[in-house]
Amino acid sequence: MEMMKGMNYMKKKIGFIGLGIMGKPMSKNLIKAGHDLYVYDIVKTAVDEVAASGANACESILEVTKNCDTIITMLPNSPQVKEVVMGIGGIIENAVKGTLVVDMSSIAPLASKECEAALKETGMRMIDAPVSGGEPKAIDGTLSIMCGGEQADFDEAKPLFEIMGGSSVLTGDIGSGNMTKLANQIIVAVNIAAMGEALTLAVKAGVKPELVFNAIRGGLAGSTVLDAKVPMVLERNFRPGFKIDLHIKDLKNVVETANELKSPIFLTTQVLQMMQVLSNDGEGGNDHGGIARFYEKLANIEIS
């Protein structure tokens, strides 16, 4: 019988902390592959849902750490990761020497380095492994996973990445994964903004945006971003695969990192401001394809 995607011959006990939009389907894919999951989240209903799929529900981080030698975290931002790793009742307080912490959150690279240094002092290991692809790719297990850390630790985690993702690449030392994710988020955000600007112009000129999309998608202007987001905008579907507010968080991490490195980010700051306007208008919970709405409002048109 053909072995399931990414499954080891030996069942592995894995801790999973953070069961939000992304963490929930990622954890369920690990369960489907046959691994024994111990899950924790501050939202009990999320824990109950994943437990209904076969996970072991935990009431504390301690309960996760005492059962697992690999712990995956999937949390909103740097403060939450630092709290789970270094805070009261966190992973370090309940440290088991040799444990591998795989942080798949999208956070500031310097925060990854800070967490890794603290874990190392207790004999634990860490890699940062943020993802790209949003909820749809988390559900079907085809995320792009960008990793930073030691080669041996990456190799150890790779069978798990093969379950949750379509690709996983070690990009350098700790923090490199999140630096790569920031680069990814710049390109995605600017692509969506350019899409909105271009299709708004087409509508103002009386050209159907769907025909523009079909004409350009096979050429140099075509991209995975266009293929994913144009149909959603045309259908007026802004149900979040990745929320505008979460993309704002990522671009703020870009700004913080760029300021520290003295690197210019003209386009990023402009798109960040567009997103913040939309968030202030109550659209922060919409899919980031809704950046196109910024142009629609200014031009008083609808891309449809």
Catalytic positions, written as ranges: 181
Residue 226 CA to residue 303 CA, distance in Å, equals 14
Residue with tokens 């790779």: 158
- Take residue 198 and report the two structure tokens written for it: 């271009």
Decide the pairing of beta strands 125-128 and 131-132.
Answer: unpaired
For the record, the structure tokens of 94 come out as: 């309940």
110 CB-contact burial (10 Å; exposed 0-12 / middle 13-18 / buried 19+): middle
Tokens of 74: 């999937």
Q: Say how far apart CA 177 and CA 189 lie, in whole Å.
A: 18
Residue 238's SS3 state is: coil
Distance CA(253)–CA(78), nearest Å, equals: 9
Q: Which helix (H) or strand (E) holds 191?
A: helix 176-204
What 8-state DSSP symbol labels residue 226? H
Other C-beta atoms closer than 10 Å to the C-beta of 69 total: 16
Instruction: Assess contact for 146 and 177: CB atoms under 8 A.
Output: yes
Token pair, residue 276, equals: 């913040």
Q: How many CA atoms lie within 13 A of 82 on its CB side?
A: 12
